[in-house]
Amino acid sequence: MSDAEAKKPISDEDLIDIDSPEALEDPSDDERIAILEAERDDLKDKFMRALADAENSRKRSERDRREAEQYGGSKLARDLLPVFDNMKRAVSAVPEDARDANKAMIEGVELTMRELLNVFKKHGIQPISPEVGDRFDPQLHEAMFEAPLPGTTAGEIIQVEADGFMLHDRLLRPARVGVSSMTAK
């Protein structure tokens, strides 16, 4: 029995009139075998579909569990990225002549940044740290501005504003960069 036949509503023509003489007759052995085989085939089809549905549900729940394990902390990680950015800005904001006087504080902030990166790494978060001169990649970088800079080619990174981060194989945040718009002459 096909799916369309199984789902088709029963019409009046399909019903047997129990008052008719044919309804009172016992079906022959061949007819009974045919009826039983049809019922068996129908039940086997329903069983196989239920088995496939259960297997698909199991696979789906396993995939959902893996994704929750891998990517469940992405919101927390995304919220911690500005903390890393602010610590990096704090270290770079200290003028060279004041570095010796603030050496202990700078070292403490750098140690905290390293520890934060170690925790990120433990949870599958890797930094994307482009360098000036690298090629702009729209899959990993976000262009914050374009500017013509002599000595560069179009699409070359001319400034890095913030590192980006990957969570396993997904982009958590693109690296924020400035890109050259110089045209070749």
Which tens digit of pLDDT belongs to each residue from 19-52?
555 555 566 888 889 999 999 999 999 999 999 9
SS3 141: strand
Mean pLDDT computed over every residue of the chain: 87
Pair 109, 22 in one domain = no
Tokens 């469940």: give the residue. 72
How would you list the strands of the sheet with 170-173, edge to edge? 125-128, 164-167, 170-173
Pair 83, 165 in one domain = yes
In this structure, is residue 148 part of a structural domain? yes
Print the domain residue range for 17: 3-71
In this structure, is residue 174 part of a structural domain? yes
- Residue 92 — left, alpha, or beta (φ > 0 → left; ψ -120 to 50 → alpha)? alpha
The pTM of the full predicted model, rounded to 2 decimals, is: 0.65
Q: pLDDT exceeding 90 applies to what percent of the chain?
A: 64
Pair 82, 55 in one domain = no
Beta strands in the chain (DSSP E): 125-128, 141-147, 157-162, 164-167, 170-173, 175-180
What is the rounded distance in angstroms from the CA atom of residue 51 to the CA atom of residue 29? 32
pLDDT at 182 exceeding the cut of 80: no
Pair 80, 162 in one domain = yes
What is the rounded distance in angstroms from the CA atom of residue 178 to the CA atom of residue 171? 19
pLDDT at 11 exceeding the cut of 80: no
| Tokens, residue 62 | 């396993």
Domains contained in the chain, number? 2
